[in-house]
Amino acid sequence: MLVVAGARPNFMKVSALWHALSALRHPFAPMLVHTGQHYDYQLSQVFYRDLDLPPADFSLGVGSGSHAEQTARVMIEFERVCLEQSPGLVVVVGDVNSTLACALVAAKLGVPVAHVEAGLRSFDRSMPEEINRVLTDAVARFLFTPSRDAVENLRREGVPDGSIFFVGNVMVDTLLRFRQKAEALAPWREFGFAAGAYGVVTLHRPANVDNQDVLLEILEGLSVIQDQVPLIFPAHPRTAARIRAFGLGPLVARMRNLRVVEPLGYLQFLSVIGHAQFILTDSGGIQEETTMLGVPCLTLRVNTERPVTLTGGTNRLVRTNRQHIIEAVRDLDSAHGCFTDGLPEFWDGRAAERIVSLLAPVFS
């Protein structure tokens, strides 16, 4: 069995699977593949340490590039691994380029594919991740879904019920496993902040950071917000590069209460968002994590592939308009704040255990 991780959000999901598989290695004999889609230390290597993962059995080192270049490189390198190892199953997680690339390679070689976090849909084909989700699900044999809406999405697309398994959210497994360890770090103190007295910002999606006008609107909104509430901004390398390229560095530098920092490791980041007053993000995974942590999340997008975080969580969608962003943060101080009445179904820390129990009879 080959278990694939390519980018930062993959590692949290792979961690839960790896620990569940390791507890019952027979009949799986799992091997970890790191494609190298994210290769910066803080976006990949730090997760081996934070999440108690062993070194990858195979490191493909594909690096960056356009979507076509990156997907092609992963396919070429991963095919070599598959031909050498003849795996009985390839497990992919999430919706990054590595997810689709490895799923396609396996399917064309006749190797069954298991997709963890299957069925999520934003219904926005302008998102590269949406294309990756749809195509990965189309070739997967085992589709493990995190929520009921994901099950219905797959059924509408014609996926037979025998391939769909509602197991819950593996990212939640990892959060619950490492939450206490993260609590002990209290990294917000290093930034001179008190618990509950700061906000957190993350930005990385092309729709937000590759468009100069949109990025400017967001930053101008942040410039007003940080006058009222200090902000921690772990800057993704892509976002930092766009800020420089668009000449927006001086605007950021003038924000005295915006603390721009390097990307944080998983444990540090979990601790930081767990004690934040609110989160401003365009990340999918953070919508889930904040729901678990009970922290208000303002998602800078017009849609989400995780609607359960809207109906049963702490998440709210906010348009990437300066005034809307400012007003959304102000609304959190009123009765219109977003708080959960209960956690989504099967977000109980046992999703990976369910996946392993479903796969074990097939490979025994």
Do 141 and 247 fall into the same domain?
no
Which pLDDT value is given to residue 338? 56
Residue 276 · residue 295 · CB < 8 Å = yes
The pLDDT value given to residue 5:
93
358/240 same-domain check: no
- Answer yes or no: do 87 and 212 share one domain: no
Instruction: Classify each residue of 28-66 as buried b or exposed e, where b means 16 or more C-beta atoms within 10 Å of its C-beta.
Output: bebebbbbbbbbeebbbbbbbebbebeebebbbebeeee
Name the token pair of 311.
């109906």
State which residues form the domain around 55: 2-169+347-363
Peptide bond into 187 cis (omega under 30): no
Residues 6+ apart with CB under 8 A from 329: 199, 225, 228, 229, 278, 280, 298
CA dist., res. 34 & res. 309, Å (int): 29
**Residue 288 belongs to some domain of the structure:** yes
- The reported pTM is 0.93
| Single-letter code of the amino acid located at 296 | P
Q: What is the Cα–Cα distance from 312 to 296, expressed in whole angstroms?
A: 12
- Is the torsion defined by CA of 12, 15, 20, 25 positive or negative? positive
282 falls within a domain: yes
237, β-bridge pairs: none
Q: Each residue's pLDDT tens digit in the chain (364 positions)? A: 999 998 888 999 999 999 999 887 667 789 999 998 655 545 456 778 889 899 999 999 887 778 899 999 999 999 999 999 999 999 999 999 999 999 999 999 999 999 999 999 999 999 999 999 999 999 999 999 999 999 999 999 999 999 999 999 999 999 999 999 998 898 888 888 999 999 999 999 999 999 999 999 999 999 999 999 999 999 998 899 999 999 999 999 999 999 999 999 999 999 999 999 999 999 999 999 999 999 999 999 999 999 999 998 899 999 999 999 999 999 987 544 555 567 899 999 999 999 999 998 887 6
Residue 339 falls inside a structural domain: no
- The CA distance from 159 to 75, in Å, is 25
* Domain membership flag for residue 336: no
What the block records as the tokens of 192 is 């001179």
The reported pLDDT for the residue numbered 143 is 98
CB 107 within 8 A of CB 142: no
* Shared-domain flag, residues 209 and 310: yes
Residue 351 to residue 270: CA distance in whole angstroms? 20
Q: Which residues are catalytic?
A: 204
Look at residue 340 and tell me if it is in a domain: no
Backbone angles phi, psi at 18, to 5 degrees: -60, -45
Same domain, yes or no: 183 and 165: no
pLDDT at residue 357 in the model: 93
DSSP H/E element including 63: none
The CATH number covering residue 266 comes to: 3.40.50.2000
Token pair belonging to 89? 């199953």
Count of the separate structural domains present in the chain: 2
Residue 174 lies in a domain: no
pLDDT of residue 13: 94
pLDDT value of position 62:
87
Residue 192 lies in a domain: yes
Residues 6+ apart with CB under 8 A from 68: none
Indicate if 203 and 163 belong to the same structural domain.
Answer: no
Q: What is the pLDDT of residue 335?
A: 45
153 and 294 assigned to the same domain: no
Q: Note whether 224 and 151 are same-domain residues.
A: no
CB of 61 within 8 A of CB of 36? Answer: yes
Q: How far apart are CA 338 and CA 223, in angstroms?
A: 23
Could you tell me if 146 and 215 lie in one domain? no
199 bridge partner residues: 231, 278
Q: Are residues 314 and 353 in the same domain?
A: no
Amino acid letter for position 350: R
Distance (Å, whole) CA 345 – CA 309: 11
Clarify whether residues 6 and 106 are in a common domain: yes
Give backbone dihedrals phi and psi of 283, rounded to 5 degrees, phi first.
Answer: -85, 145
Give residue for tokens 């092609």. 72
Task: Please report whether residue 137 resides in a domain.
Answer: yes
Q: Is 199 helix (H, G, I), strand (E, B) or coil?
A: strand
Please give the structure tokens belonging to residue 337.
């704040």
Same domain assignment for residues 352 and 314? no
